[in-house]
Amino acid sequence: MKVRDLLSAESIMIGASATDKKAAIEQAVSLMTKRGNITNVEQYTAGVFAREEEGTTGIGEGIAIPHCKCDGVSAPGLAAMTIPAGVDFDALDGASVNLLFLIAAPDTKDNVHLDVLSRLSVLLMNPDFSDALKGAKTAEEFLSIIDRAEEKKVTEEKEEVKAPVADKFIVAVTGCPTGIAHTYMAAEALEKAAAAAGVTIKVETRGSGGAKNVLTAEDIAKASGIIVASDTKVPMERFAGKPVKECHVADGISKADELVKEAVAGTAKAYVVKESTKEESVKDTAGDSVGHQIYTHLMSGVSHMLPFVIGGGILIALAFLLDTLMGYGDVGGSFGSATPISAFLKYIGGLAMGLMVPVLAGYIAYSIADRPGLAVGFLGGLLASNGNAAIADYDWSNVGGFAKFVQDFAFVGEGSGNTVSGFLGGIAAGFLAGFVVLWLKKITENMPKSLDGIRPILIYPVCGTFIVGVVMCFILNPLIGLVNTGLSIMLTAVAASGMIWLLGLILGAMMAIDMGGPINKAAYVFGTGMLATAADLTAAGASATDPQVQACYIAMAAIMAGGMVPPLGIALACIFFPKKFTAAERETKISNIVMACGFITEGAIPFAAADPGRVIPSTMVGAGVAGLLSALFGCTLMAPHGGVFVFATVGKPFMYIVAWLVGSIVTMFMLGLLKKDAEA
């Protein structure tokens, strides 16, 4: 395959003009779509801009290579533009861009095109070649320049013989998240810098096609220095004891001379393997902002949690659907478990959903403190999701003066406190566990070397789980318990006042604050309690149309409407505002629609965990609107769960659907307005 196979005259624009970087990329995308290899233009465009958010693809010397690898690309392709007047591209050297190549790569295992793209990237490092392209007058001349240079490069590659080892030998590893252009350009820049310095270098490239030119143990042993210019994970244990300079892949392009000089001198700090079982991440986050570090740790937990939410949530929704189809939509609390198959689906789905918060907390801690943080984080997450109920009934009077504090605060009254802190507590537990383990590492680092082996398998898990357990049981969970007690009192007072519209607003909003957490559960438990009250009233002779009975059913309807808004609102936002979400987030839109239909609010948790400051207000307002409208319309619900599968039991079902959709649309627009464009 040659560059000509990926680039045609129709996807080349000579003498283009652009007011800014955004306009230049949009013009290039327009050229790319002419090739017919883009099946989802919005997804591809969003991916290109998301890549720019990670770091500019303006590599210097007037050249930019924006690129994206995604499902919206059916076949690899190139588009090219010359921009005589230049355009500001936030390039590494600050210079305006005059030559732009846009790359489209399909997200498939077939990576035969990567050799071509890497060859083009390397060619662009030659000033004579890039200057010739900038001066081309027609698309045909542009292509002929590439053809001649590529043929020459292919010939050189075939005739290349292994150079004799010089007195100085260094090695390097390059890699970028996309693995298309920067990986190979950094490798070429380092090779040129080494040649200019009279040094032999071997560069391992870790691109989309996998690791190439892999360093051997012999290479590493004889190298005077090692350069790791990468923004993706690299196996680092092999470099133990060797001087290693770690940096971003962009530095491998723009600072190649400095890096080679430092590697030759061997002045970099010797690499130390912190944990023998850990796969090290090459990117040093110490220089990143605190906010970015928090986001990185949080996303580690969210990405691992997502499969549990989707898998478990959809299985539960299928259980409700099956019971509905089998005619068991009016069995009350048994809905979703009325048949053996539905009961099985609900059981395993519930187990998967139950792992959601522990996994979130565990992998936040793992991101902060590596593998030793995993067990401690899981424990914190389990305490957040299960609360203190299991030990609330213990006779704490045996602990003397401490008993009153334990009974009145930690367990909110013997055996009566709801101390589940949910996914917000899980986030807190994850960060707590991670930093506790880091602290334990710090205070034990001067222990005798002979005891190093017991630190990760004994000291960290035992001390870490104890500390996190104490903080969760006696501080975080109880504080949430106090909040729940206050919420229950407030809801009862509002219900007694007869302001049913206000009750609907509050209940709907509460369902979307922590999506299955304590506030959500407080509202839901209040709703099921209202259904029990309605049952007592009717048993005592009240009719179904009695205002008190109707108020109970209206409260339950507002709760379910509010709980169905977050996942649907987010799914709609993924569809209509795709740039606000990562590719992984957009892929969940169908599953979120399914979960919204099944009244499974937890589908919104990964989004809320990733961006709580914007997502939670958006879902809360939309859910509050849905609850308010449902109450104002007088919609009623006699089933405690089920979503669309129990709409047959809803009073005024059409208006109920209107309330749900309006609330979801409010959430969608708020997300579109408040969220920033996705970072990745």
User: Which residues contact residue 71 at a Cβ distance below 8 angstroms, ignoring those fewer than 6 apart?
Assistant: 40, 43, 106, 107, 583
Given the DSSP bridges, would you call strands 200-207 and 169-175 parallel, antiparallel or unpaired?
parallel
516 pLDDT band, cuts 50/70/90, is low
Q: Where in the chain is the domain with CATH 3.40.930.10?
A: 3-108+127-159
- Rounded Cα distance, 508 and 498, in Å: 17
pLDDT in tens, 52-85: 877 778 877 888 888 888 888 888 888 999 999 9
Q: Report the catalytic residues.
A: 67, 176
Residue 234 Cα distances to 210, 246, 279, 632, angstroms: 12, 11, 8, 58
Burial class, 457, CB count within 10 angstroms (exposed 0-12 / middle 13-18 / buried 19+): exposed
283 pLDDT band, cuts 50/70/90, is very low
- Give the pLDDT confidence score for residue 339 in this predicted structure: 87
Q: What is the mean pLDDT of residues 442-468?
A: 84
How confident is the prediction for the chain on average, in pLDDT? 80
Which of 501-510, 570-579, 644-653 shows the lowest mean pLDDT across its residues? 644-653
Residue 382, CA atoms < 13 Å, CB-side half-sphere: 11
- Give the pLDDT confidence score for residue 287 in this predicted structure: 45
Q: Where in the chain is the domain with CATH 3.40.50.2300?
A: 169-283
- Rounded Cα distance, 242 and 383, in Å: 43
Which class is 3-108+127-159 in CATH?
A: alpha beta
- Rounded Cα distance, 136 and 188, in Å: 24
pLDDT in tens, 259-276: 999 888 888 888 876 543
- Give the pLDDT confidence score for residue 415 in this predicted structure: 42
- Rounded Cα distance, 306 and 606, in Å: 6
Q: Collapse the DSSP code of 80 into the 3-class scheme (helix H, G, I; strand E, B; otherwise coil) and give the result.
A: strand
Q: Which residue has the higher pLDDT, 381 or 280?
A: 381
User: Which residues contact residue 79 at a Cβ distance below 8 angstroms, ignoring those fewer than 6 apart?
Assistant: 7, 11, 12, 28, 29, 31, 32, 35, 101, 102, 104
- Rounded Cα distance, 507 and 530, in Å: 12
164 pLDDT more than 50: no
Q: Write out the H or E segment, with its range, that includes residue 668.
A: helix 653-674
Q: Which residue has the higher pLDDT, 530 or 132?
A: 132
- Rounded Cα distance, 265 and 280, in Å: 25
Q: Which residue has the higher pLDDT, 4 or 639?
A: 4
334 pLDDT more than 70: no
161 pLDDT more than 80: no
- Give the pLDDT confidence score for residue 215 in this predicted structure: 86
The CATH homologous superfamily to which domain 169-283 belongs is Response regulator (3.40.50.2300)
- Rounded Cα distance, 525 and 503, in Å: 14
